Structure 1
Amino acid sequence: MVDHYKNRLSVYGYEMLPRFTSPKPFHNRVDSLMLLISRQCFNLHTLFIREKVSTSTVLLIARTAKNLRRLYVRRFAVIIRCDWPRHPEWTDEFYIWLRHMSRSYEVVEREVSQILGYKWNFLSDHDYKQLQVDVRIEY
């Protein structure tokens, strides 16, 4: 998908709740795929994440996706943890920041709010189900 749509993809995700349980181990989850989408799709301005991801993944997505304006993440699906192995391109300071900021929902919400430039919060399942996006709107 990234190879075919990376130059045109502007909105990605699923609006409804999943009808399956998400795996808990890092290598079985969508963390790396969500980060790949946010890194490669330069026009991405809206991202929905309904599957299980870690708090560190949410922080990495917010920092990586340069044109991201709207990020919708279900709180129930977020695991409080930094389970990313240290990447060789990351500085020691960045990895310490990532591990430290991944320790609570409140800290992640504050950091993502600062990165995106507006008050950002994880969504309850009820709020997530109420979301509707018009894919024709340009940001």
Structure 2
Amino acid sequence: ACMEVLSDSREGGGDEDDDDFVDCVEFPIADENISVGALEALLSMSDAKSSVDKLENCVKFLEAISVHFDQAAGGGKAVSADYLLKMVCEHIIVAKVPRLNAELAFLEEFARDEQLLRGKEGYSLVTLQASLHFLNASKDFDADIFKDEY
């Protein structure tokens, strides 16, 4: 259901920064917690050919999540790293990116520009890697991710 809504928004020629909400009934994820712009950036990573372009999509993904939650909170309030990881995990689950493990392994292997990896790109890559590692290790998404600790 989530991917159908995202596909519909892409076909309509929506703006890349469009921050509509996705209807997702497969997991207990509130619609207002999902940024379509973030999903589109994450899904676009598979289409990117170079490591620089893939890292750029990683940055767009995290920035879209950050902007989305900053706006939801009324602005001016920073998102904690723990909460960011939870939101990244939820977006990864909803996006269902094919071969995301392989995409991140590709980046780990071929993104070797030290200057690039020290900035936003490096932070984005590490955040995605940590989230994916957590999801891969999880035996129970409901207990590990969706329990409301915040």
Say whether the fold is shared (TM-score over 0.5).
no
TM-score, structure 2 length as denominator? 0.33
Higher strand share: 1
Higher helix share: 2
